[in-house]
């Protein structure tokens, strides 16, 4: 097989290959310095990994594979598995509002943060996808999400774990 036509970013690594007949799915993401498991409870770590790609390739002729689609999804791949002809991808997405000051030091900065948060919609916090570089679309709505009821503020988790098929 020739080189796979899956982008030209030298910081991107393949994280999974799934072959089904003449179709090959290649999962790709930005390389990480640290293991995801040692950083599981650090939401800011996950905000830096905001998307991964799924390339669909036609490999009917292995000498000339061709890309037929590229799906970009917000979040990082936790795990993936193919069962039959269905590919399941578990992802983790940590929402990040643009212009939100992570560590406000003045009342004005805190007030600006409150305004940003109060003006945001639930959709602003949910992961999106893009097909072939097109416009961003919602993967699911807030009504499709399960959320536990935390009683201790120290137990809050700001990540969304999704299972995509």
Residue 117: which pLDDT band, with cuts at 50, 70 and 90?
Answer: very high
pLDDT digit string, tens, across residues 63-74: 899 999 999 999
pLDDT digit string, tens, across residues 76-101: 888 999 999 999 999 988 888 888 88
Single pTM value for the model: 0.78
Spatial separation of the C-alpha atoms in residues 122 and 52, rounded to whole Å: 22
Average pLDDT, the chain: 84
Residue 49: which pLDDT band, with cuts at 50, 70 and 90?
Answer: low
For 78, the token pair is 């936790």
Instruction: For the chain, give every domain's residue range.
Output: 12-94+128-164
Q: How many CB atoms lie within 10 A of CB 101?
A: 14
């Amino acid at each position: 097989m020739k080189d796979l036509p899956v982008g030209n970013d030298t910081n991107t690594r393949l994280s999974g290959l799934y072959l089904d007949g003449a179709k090959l799915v290649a999962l790709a993401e930005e390389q990480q310095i640290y293991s995801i498991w040692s950083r599981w409870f650090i939401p800011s770590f996950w905000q830096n990994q905001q998307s991964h790609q799924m390339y669909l390739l036609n490999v009917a002729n292995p000498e000339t594979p061709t890309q037929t689609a590229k799906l970009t999804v917000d979040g990082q791949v936790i795990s993936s598995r193919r069962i039959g002809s269905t590919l399941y991808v578990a992802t983790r997405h940590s929402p990040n509002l643009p212009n939100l000051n992570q560590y406000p030091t003045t009342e004005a900065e805190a007030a600006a943060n409150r305004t940003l948060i109060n003006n945001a919609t639930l959709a602003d916090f949910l992961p999106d996808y893009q097909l072939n570089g097109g416009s961003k679309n919602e993967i699911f709505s807030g009504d499709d999400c399960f959320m536990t009821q935390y009683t201790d503020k120290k137990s809050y988790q700001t990540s969304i774990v999704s299972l995509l098929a």
